[in-house]
């Protein structure tokens, strides 16, 4: 049989009648096959190895499941914290760059929020295509790089650009947090998990100005 694009050829498949491995010569498609492929008698739908498959995140122990939610909530807290933590230091920033343009000062703060709004438009579909883990890792690495770049910026223009890209990369946990919960928990258990994850994006903007104001008021030099 000639190979078709998007199909693979396993040596054996599991019989649904007795659970034994039997030779298989047909095409193998993912569970997102079209209706036309579904009608093909040679098509086999890929799924978990039974309802008790240990590789299925919904079968993980509660500690493992809630650990995933806690980590995502924590990084969401950090990225949302950066949105408002900068605002108390705007006046000092304007003095450092010798600028009196208030609109630019407002833009430095709000451009990050614009990045948070635009980032999910790209990152959410990419997480469905390539998986969430690779998007989490790459975006958090970029978030760290752009945040450091903001700290060493030599001009307002650099700061605005780096703040925007920091917001775009920092939007990953906000865009994918709900999807992560749905990947790990069955529908009847998602309410509690979502409430735990929501602590991060809700608490970040609250404690951000407090932490930023503390850093502004406390001198860093003796």
Note whether residue 20 is domain-resident.
no
Note whether residue 57 is domain-resident.
no
Per-residue tokens: 101: 């343009």
> pLDDT at position 69, please?
94
Note whether residue 110 is domain-resident.
yes
The domain total for the chain is 1
What letter does residue 8 receive in the DSSP assignment?
B
Give the residue among 58, 39, 62 at the shortest CA–CA distance from 48: 58
State which residues form the domain around 71: 62-216
Note whether residue 92 is domain-resident.
yes
Give the residue among 139, 75, 86, 138 at the shortest CA–CA distance from 112: 86
> pLDDT at position 8, please?
43
Q: 180-202, pLDDT tens digit by residue? A: 999 999 888 899 999 999 999 99
Note whether residue 212 is domain-resident.
yes
In this prediction the pTM is 0.74
Note whether residue 185 is domain-resident.
yes
User: CATH number of the domain that 150 lies in?
Assistant: 1.20.1250.20
Classify 186 as helix, strand or coil.
Answer: coil
Q: 19-30, pLDDT tens digit by residue? A: 455 554 444 444
Rounded (10°) CA dihedral 78, 166, 168, 127? -60
Note whether residue 99 is domain-resident.
yes
Note whether residue 2 is domain-resident.
no
């Amino acid at each position: 049989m000639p190979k078709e694009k998007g199909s693979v050829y396993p040596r054996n498949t599991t019989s649904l009648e007795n659970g034994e491995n039997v030779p298989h010569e047909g095409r193998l498609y993912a569970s997102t096959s079209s209706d036309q492929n579904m009608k093909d008698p040679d098509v086999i739908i890929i799924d978990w190895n039974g309802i008790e498959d240990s590789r299925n995140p919904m079968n993980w122990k509660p500690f493992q499941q809630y650990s995933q939610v806690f980590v995502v909530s924590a990084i969401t807290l950090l990225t949302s914290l950066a949105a408002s933590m900068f605002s108390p230091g705007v006046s000092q920033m304007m003095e450092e760059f010798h600028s009196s343009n208030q609109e630019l000062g407002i833009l430095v703060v709000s451009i990050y929020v614009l990045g948070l709004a635009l980032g999910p438009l790209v990152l959410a579909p990419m997480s469905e295509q390539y998986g969430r883990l690779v998007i989490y890792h790459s975006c958090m690495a970029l978030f760290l790089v752009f945040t450091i770049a903001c700290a060493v910026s030599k001009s307002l223009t650099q700061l605005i650009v780096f703040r925007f890209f920091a917001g775009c990369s920092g939007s990953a946990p906000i865009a994918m947090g709900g999807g992560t919960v749905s990947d790990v928990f069955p529908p009847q258990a998602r309410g509690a998990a979502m409430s735990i994850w929501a602590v991060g994006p809700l608490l970040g903007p609250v404690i951000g100005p407090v932490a930023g104001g503390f850093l502004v008021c406390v001198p860093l030099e003796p």
